Chain A
Amino acid sequence: DAGVIQSPRHEVTEMGQEVTLRCKPISGHDYLFWYRQTMMRGLELLIYFNNNVPIDDSGMPEDRFSAKMPNASFSTLKIQPSEPRDSAVYFCASRSQGLGTGELFFGEGSRLTVL
């Protein structure tokens, strides 16, 4: 089975530009999470969805960040305008409510560099 698929794997952009990160969760999973990882702050939860509905977005840094999940197989995280402090690795993860272990399945991440 395919795992969580994220794109792009790497993105380098200039300050002020719009950035869109994409995620395809594992088929059948009903929860989707967006995390951001930096050396200084570790792995931070930004937002999570259940059945395509945003449940908790309290981790979204500010209004420049937005996330959508138009259907069960696709989600986007958008940063507009981007700033150098947004440089990080962004991970998408999914899980199934039916799985007893509560395991989060992570994608390989999107490494964002904002110059």
Chain B
Amino acid sequence: TQLLEQSPQFLSIQEGENLTVYCNSSSVFSSLQWYRQEPGEGPVLLVTVVTGGEVKKLKRLTFQFGDARKDSSLHITAAQPGDTGLYLCAGAGPSGTYKYIFGTGTRLKVLA
């Protein structure tokens, strides 16, 4: 069974601080996604990474896929209250399957 462990589980920081969220597994994924979920809503895609070592930037968010495609990180620079939410990583199995397994989640709260 593929498992995705995220750390930390909870994070409360002040506006303007930087943070990094980690997503780790012992399994190899063909691609990995990051989603953000707000209360009462479904998760919304932030980014998809496919190539080992790939780095993608989305404004103040930087995503990295591990070289071995088993782990990923999300770094937020100068966090803002609008970044508050549940961050989820999701891994897809071997190419040709669409079984997305979600991580345990990181609940972020950014205080003004």
> Could you tell me which A residues sit within 8 Å of B by CB distance?
4, 31, 33, 35, 42-45, 48, 50, 55-56, 91, 93, 95, 97, 101-104, 106-109
Main secondary structure of the interface of A (DSSP, over half): strand
Q: How far is the CA of A108 from the CA of B42 in the complex (A)?
A: 5
* A102 lies within 8 A of B102 (CB): no
Closest B residue to A43 by beta carbon equals B102
How far is it, in angstroms, between the C-alpha of A55 and the C-alpha of B98 when the chains are bound?
10
Partner of A48, one of B44, B48, B90, B98: B98
Between A and B, how many residue pairs show CB distances below 8 Å? 55
What are the residues of chain B within 8 A of A48 when measuring CB–CB?
A: 98-99
User: What residues of A have a CB within 8 angstroms of the CB of B33 in the complex?
Assistant: 102-104
- A75 and B30 alpha carbons, distance in the complex (Å): 28
Q: Is B25 an interface residue (CB 8 A)?
A: no
Q: A42-B102, A93-B42, A108-B41 are in contact. List 16 more A-B contacts (CB 8 A).
A: A42-B88, A42-B103, A43-B88, A45-B100, A45-B101, A45-B102, A56-B99, A102-B33, A103-B33, A103-B48, A104-B33, A104-B43, A104-B90, A104-B100, A106-B41, A107-B42
A31 partner residues in chain B, CB cutoff 8 A: 98
Distance (whole angstroms) from the CB of B43 to the closest CB of chain A? 5
